[in-house]
Every structure is written in structure tokens, then in C-alpha cells.
């Protein structure tokens, strides 16, 4: 499968955000804080002209770690039709590359516990206890120092 990873606009993430991550939420809830901030970057994975994966990076600190060079991953998803074919790896690699290019140091996310094993493949580790945001299932913070 030929996959292109491109920078995309925040608006272009929203269909997959809703379809895969938050089907119960309305359009305005799919706008995340700082989606339009100049430091924020959104990536889309394309197979031919079809978007089949998304991820977004925000220059946000993690509560409890006073590190200014901290980057948060949000909205990481691949569409069911192209899952398990390495698209997730390509998106994570692009995110890691971007953070390193920005002299970022801490890479973190609030991960669904169902995806914890995916993040562990990139050397991310659990930080703190499991928590359950409204309607989104069990989550855990995962971190990695780059
Ligand atoms: C998690 C997700 C983004 C992974 O994307 P993907 O395109 O399937 O990932 P890849 O095909 O690149 O898989 C890379 C590796 O991670 C593994 N993997 C994928 N999803 C996994 C999961 N949920 N748990 C454990 N391992 C996982 C794959 O088996 C593969 O392992 P391998 O290299 O040993 O073969 C995708 O499954 C998804 O969108 N899930 C639903 C939404 C979701 O949970 N997003 C994360 C929110 S925190």
C-alpha cells in the first residue's frame, strides 16, 4: 500500500475524529483546544486521494511535569479499512520527527487503554493511574523522552 503522510488543516481531521474516535459527539466538540494554534500540526495519511489516518500535535505541557518542550499527541486514528497495515507507524514516525525538529523533549498523550500496546511499540510508558473521561472509556497517560 502506497501511503503519503501530509500536513493537513485542522478541519480535515474532523471526519475521522468523529467516525473513529468520538461518534457520539457533535461537530463543535471535535474542535480541540489549540487546533488552530501556530505551533499545532495535523498530519493526514493518504492512500491515493483518500484520507485513512490522522494525528495532531500540540505544544502542551503535561500536568505534573514542568517541561516547556512538551508535545501532546491527540486524535490518533486510522480508518478500519486500512488498519493493521503500518499507517499508524508512519503517523507516529512523522510526529516523532516533527517533535525532534522542534527541539521537543517530552512526547505524551492520553491513550485509550485499548491502544496502550500500540504506544508501547514506540517506547512510550504509562505515567500515573487509569482515568475515564466522560463517554470515552478508560485512558492512561503515556510518555516518552526523546
Ligand atoms: C491504534 C491505531 C491508531 C493503530 O493504527 P494502525 O494503522 O492499525 O497501526 P499499525 O498497522 O501501524 O500497527 C503497528 C503495530 O501496532 C500494533 N497495534 C495496532 N493497534 C494496536 C492496539 N490497539 N493495541 C496493541 N497493538 C496495536 C499492530 O499490531 C502493529 O504491531 P506489529 O508491528 O507487531 O505488527 C488504530 O488501531 C486505531 O485507529 N484504533 C482506533 C482508535 C484508537 O484507539 N486510537 C488511539 C486513541 S488513544
In this predicted model, what pLDDT tens digit does every residue of 24-48 receive, in sequence order? 888 888 999 999 999 999 999 999 9
Cα 89 to ligand 1 centroid, rounded to whole Å:
8
Number of domains the chain is built from: 1
Cα 53 to ligand 1 centroid, rounded to whole Å:
11
Q: Tell me what the mean pLDDT of segment 45-67 comes to.
A: 96
Per residue in 93-133, pLDDT (tens digit) is 999 999 999 999 999 999 999 999 999 999 999 999 999 98
Residue tagged 485542522 (cell numbers):
10
Q: Which residue segment(s) compose the domain that 95 sits in? A: 3-145
- Residue 62, pLDDT > 90, answer yes
Cα 88 to ligand 1 centroid, rounded to whole Å:
6
CATH number of the domain at 10, please: 3.40.630.30
User: Which residue, judged by its Cα, is nearest atom 28 of ligand 1?
Assistant: 84
Q: Which residues line ligand 1 (CB under 6 A)?
A: 20-21, 76-78, 83-89, 111-112, 114-115, 117-118, 121
pLDDT-derived band at 21, boundaries 50, 70, 90? very high
Amino acid at each position: 500500500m502506497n501511503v503519503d503522510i501530509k500536513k493537513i488543516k485542522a478541519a480535515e481531521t474532523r471526519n475521522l475524529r468523529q467516525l473513529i474516535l468520538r461518534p457520539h459527539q457533535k461537530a463543535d466538540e471535535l474542535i480541540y483546544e489549540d487546533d488552530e494554534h501556530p505551533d499545532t500540526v495535523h498530519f493526514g495519511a493518504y492512500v491515493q486521494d483518500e484520507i485513512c489516518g490522522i494525528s495532531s500535535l500540540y505544544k502542551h505541557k503535561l500536568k505534573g511535569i514542568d517541561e516547556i518542550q512538551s508535545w501532546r499527541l491527540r486524535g490518533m486514528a486510522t480508518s478500519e479499512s486500512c488498519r493493521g497495515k503500518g499507517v499508524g507507524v508512519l503517523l507516529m514516525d512523522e510526529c516523532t520527527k516533527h517533535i525532534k525538529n522542534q527541539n521537543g523533549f517530552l512526547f505524551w498523550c492520553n491513550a485509550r487503554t485499548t491502544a496502550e500496546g500500540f504506544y508501547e511499540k514506540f517506547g512510550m510508558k504509562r505515567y500515573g493511574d487509569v482515568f475515564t473521561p466522560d463517554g470515552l472509556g478508560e485512558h492512561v497517560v503515556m510518555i516518552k523522552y526523546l
